[in-house]
Structure 1
Amino acid sequence: MRIFQSCVALLLACCSLIAMADDQAATQLRKHLDAMNSLQGQFTQTVRDAQGEIQEQSHGDFMLMRPGKFYWNTAEPMPQLLVSNNKNIWLYDPDLETVNVREFSNDLRETPALLLSEDVEKLRKNFTITRKAEGTTEQFTLTPKVTEGLFQQLVLVFGAGQLSEFVIQDSLGQMTRCELSNVKRNQTLPEEKFYFIPPAGTEIIKN
């Protein structure tokens, strides 16, 4: 936009269109998220480096409940459990018999799972949101307004209004794609899933 500083009128017109597009995209995303009080299913997560080479792939199941509650259970190849009850976040490694515990943070840049369970107005405040639609598929791209976070871009993909995948690109160019399957929304989820009680003998590490 700096290149066209001399074209003040054109610049203002473009800014108006961009602001309108962002507002419409945020409104449409809000409709999808407002219709999704809870979500559960299975996931396949693939991590690629900046050159596109697969670094790791994992599978598991998840539960999300807005706002701020999630259960992200990686079963293969290395078991790991991430749980939040909107007050604390637990990261449990059964192989190491350790659990890292820290207070829940409202920093949307920290944990991608939080983005799916947060209030959309917070998303709108912290991200530039654009929308691309093709048939029944909608793709929303969220770019952080503050760039020093853990990731540079988040893409949410909806098919016929249902969240089907999300993609995260970090500051090093690494791409993480989570494809969702057997997804159910607005089911009654057990509250105990969002609170972690360490098994006997587990080392508790508080951050």
Structure 2
Amino acid sequence: MSTSTMPSASQVGERARAILAAIQADPEFAAFESATLEYSSDWQCFTGFPTISEWNLDTDKAPLFAEGLRAIALKAAAFELTGSETAAELPLPVPVDEMTHAMIAQPQLLARIAARTGFTLIHQTDQEHTDYTSGEYTHAAYVAAWETEPPTRYWLDKTEVDRRLAVLAEKYDSIGFGRSGRQHAIAF
């Protein structure tokens, strides 16, 4: 679905704001947040969070959780307004998408919250778009929803992510982690 057939960014933003408020008001929200942030011990992706400059799990996880929630709300709003899972897979920046994975790893809590608040969680890895670019549709919907610019610490443009991934790949290779951490030759 092209952006010309998508609902206006302000429509998506308005609905996303309401969805996020409902999620945060849910009686199990605190448990969901706690479980998601506890998942941090398993956050060893070499190509997601490390694209954040001077990434620090302790100081970045809470603000990144907030951004992941906003992304989930935007995608849920897009789905509600279009009825299309494909259209609802809005482009996200890699670090924010990675946080949504940590949230989805809490399936029971998230499913109950979604059922009570009436939103549909949209995420399918082979359909996701991590080609976010500021100034485009997702950015406009974000601004419409929260009347502020997305924090550029986490909402990185695709071209900048690609540049940072090349820097990381070179560093990983230099210490024996090939293919950005997808292989190594260490014999244990």
Task: Report the TM-score when normalising by structure 2.
Answer: 0.31
Structure having the higher helix fraction is: 2
- The two structures have a TM-score, normalised by structure 1, of 0.29
Larger radius of gyration: 1
